[in-house]
Amino acid sequence: MTAISQQHYLTMKNSKATKVLGICHPKVRNHRRGTCPSFFRSDFGARGFFRRVCLTLLIILLLAVTTDSYSQEKYPNRPITIVAPFPPGGVADLTARPVAAAMEKVLKNPVVVVNKTGAAGAVGMASVANSKPDGYNLLMALSSISIIPEADKLFERKPAYTMDQLIPIGLISADPTIFVVSADRPWKSVKEFVDDAKKRPGQISYSSSGVYGTLHMAMEMLSHAGGVSLKHVPYAGAGPALTAILGGHVDTLASGPAVVIPHIKAGKLRPLAGWGAKRVASLPDVPTFKELGYDIEFYIWAGLFAPRGTPEPVMKSIRESVRQAVNTPEFKSAMEKLQTPIAYLDAPEFRKFWDKDAKMLAAAIKRVGKVEIPQAK
């Protein structure tokens, strides 16, 4: 179609279309007046000019539309963008880059990571959710993708995006959070901790990456399952939350293994349990909450999403490329360096995982409700 219409355009001055549409090249018009229909020929005023401009625009538009439908037949034929809704150096960014590099080799097509940050990731996620579903705008999202719409609901504000605007492509990594306490605190096990917390409710504190953030949610699940009430001190990000426990300003923290392991090795933090279904390979002595009888599971995960409405053949091609990409040695070694185990799940399984996770987070947010501000004494 494109090829034809392009030719159309080139041969226009001699074709039937010229006569029918009344388009005359200025030079043609001067030399071969006879070929143009009379009602256009004599008319050099504003109306004729305007009409010509309109028609030219129409043809350009047609060309644009046809090129586009052509591009969908052969996906991909221009750079694909993966939006990381957090700044460079964050988990989303660090996961997106090796994925992009590996996909680029599989698809033999450029894959670019763009950091679109703001409002705890809402800006970037909303931008992909509202983008054109053509397979060229993908999103590397973290667990917080399920939290933001719930929080919007809680505060009755217009949601930045809804979860059904996005469809899962594949889960890349899922790290269970680890429950650590400051090494100079007395608790040696979860049982000791819970017993103590029951004795003095609201006195043992924990830091988090922010209110309704992933680290807050993990601790909320623990306090719900253990039937205890803890004191929450939110910080602006996982880094400051770590600094707070190292400085002794809070007692406990839940965070990813890669973040806490160096400080566990240095003897500053003591791990008590993990939120995973299985123990973390690098912390073989640390039990899971499930082993200890608490039915809670929580992961900080990173997964790839596309906007809803992306055509099925395109989705298939993206899924296939991701599946191949996560199995390349380059990708494996990149993730190993980040100390993040690959936990690849293809779209159907990822959908199940996501639904379960989102339900759990929604319940946790409802339990937290609107945060009460402590009253001054």
Binding residues for other proteins, per CB under 8 A? 87-90, 93-94, 97, 113-120, 122-123, 126, 151, 154-155, 157-158, 160, 202-203, 205, 210-212, 231-237, 239-240, 242-244, 246-250, 258, 261-263, 265-266, 268, 334, 336-339, 370-371, 373-377
Cβ of residue 180: shortest distance to other proteins, in angstroms?
A: 14
What are 287-294's contacts with CB under 8 Å, separation 24+?
287/190, 288/176, 289/179, 289/190, 289/222, 289/225, 292/190, 292/191, 294/190, 294/222, 294/225, 294/226
Residue partners of 347: CB distance under 8 A and separation at least 6: 167, 168, 169, 170, 315, 319
Cβ of residue 301: shortest distance to other proteins, in angstroms?
A: 18
Cβ of residue 90: shortest distance to other proteins, in angstroms?
A: 7
Q: Which is nearer to other proteins, 90 or 226 (CB)?
A: 90
200 within 8 A of 340, measured Cβ to Cβ: no
Q: Which is nearer to other proteins, 109 or 205 (CB)?
A: 205
Cβ of residue 242: shortest distance to other proteins, in angstroms?
A: 7
Q: Which is nearer to other proteins, 62 or 123 (CB)?
A: 123
- Between CA 255 and CA 301, with CA 323 as vertex, the angle to 5 degrees is 15
* Phi, psi of 234, rounded to the nearest 5 degrees: -75, 145
Q: Which is nearer to other proteins, 61 or 371 (CB)?
A: 371
Q: Which is nearer to other proteins, 102 or 160 (CB)?
A: 160
Q: Which is nearer to other proteins, 191 or 200 (CB)?
A: 200
222 within 8 A of 289, measured Cβ to Cβ: yes
How far is it, in rounded angstroms, from Cα 175 to Cα 166?
22
90 within 8 A of 122, measured Cβ to Cβ: no
Cβ of residue 246: shortest distance to other proteins, in angstroms?
A: 6
Cβ of residue 233: shortest distance to other proteins, in angstroms?
A: 5
